[in-house]
Structure 1
Amino acid sequence: MTEEKSIFSKIIDKEIPTDIVYEDEKCIVINDIHPKARVHLLIIPKKPIPSLFELMPEDKDCMGHMMLLLPQLAQTHGLDGFKTQINTGESGGQEVFHIHIHLLGN
């Protein structure tokens, strides 16, 4: 039995069209379809890591890359401050089990 791809994996594989804000070899950035702020971006690694619980030592480069990308994205979108959020597990509010960072700012 194969696991079904997450919506984020389908977006990364260009199976679902979306407006891509930024993309490189490690991650993709899209606008959240249900924004909670004027700027609400999702920074998604191309590697399908289900949640922070499944993070492995070899993922630190990708996660560090995404963290360093956050202030650049904020500045590009005219923000002088922002909030980040990573929901982990169902009880932590995670809805898509492909790790992602929310960047929110007004």
Structure 2
Amino acid sequence: MGHDECIFCKIAIGQVLSEQVYADSDLIVFKDIRPVAPLHLLVVPRRHIPTLQHCESEDQELLGKMMLLAPKLAREFGYAYEPGSDKEANGFRVVMNTGPGGGQELYHIHMHVIAGLRPSICM
């Protein structure tokens, strides 16, 4: 699939609408259209990178930025990890699928931020 056909590239440039919750010059974050939990966000780089396997050392900052954004988003939506808390909404999951065996369906790297229940299956 070329960049012209990539749905995440189209979302990143505003060609396809999404329920966006965050955006900056490197990343966009929007709600998954097929959520598996009460909170299911996709953190997507604006730059097209097909899989995590395609990342190079120059992508280290971008990947770190994605990981550091996850807890901020979780906190914003009420799912921050609070040590010692017994509330059910205490934590979140981040998932990045890579390749067909890893469950990747769209070939533009993206990270799932999931919270609100504890699914028994891995994504």
**Secondary structure at the counterpart of residue 53 of structure 1:** helix
> How many Å apart are 1:5 and its aligned residue?
3.0
Deviation digits for residues 52-104 of structure 1 (CA, Å, limit 9, x no counterpart): 11001110111101110000000000003001111100111100000000000
**Secondary structure at the counterpart of residue 5 of structure 2:** coil
Identity %: 42
Mapped to 2, the partners of 1:72 and 1:42 lie a distance apart of: 14
Equivalent position to 2:101, from 91, 98, 101? 91
Q: 1:35: which partner in 2? A: 35
Mapped to 1, the partners of 2:22 and 2:32 lie a distance apart of: 13
1:15 pairs with 2:5: no
Q: CA RMSD in A?
A: 1.2
Q: 1:75: which partner in 2? A: 75
> How many Å apart are 1:22 and its aligned residue?
0.2
Deviation digits for residues 24-43 of structure 1 (CA, Å, limit 9, x no counterpart): 11100000000000000000
Count of paired positions: 105
TM-score when normalising by structure 2: 0.82
Could you tell me which runs of 5 or more consecutive residues in structure 2 were left unpaired when the two chains were aligned: 80-89, 117-123
Could you tell me which runs of 5 or more consecutive residues in structure 1 were left unpaired when the two chains were aligned: none
Mapped to 2, the partners of 1:52 and 1:72 lie a distance apart of: 22
Mapped to 1, the partners of 2:73 and 2:6 lie a distance apart of: 24
Amino acid at match of 1:73: L
**Secondary structure at the counterpart of residue 30 of structure 1:** strand
Amino acid at match of 2:27: C
Mapped to 1, the partners of 2:77 and 2:64 lie a distance apart of: 21
Amino acid at match of 1:100: H
TM-score when normalising by structure 1: 0.95
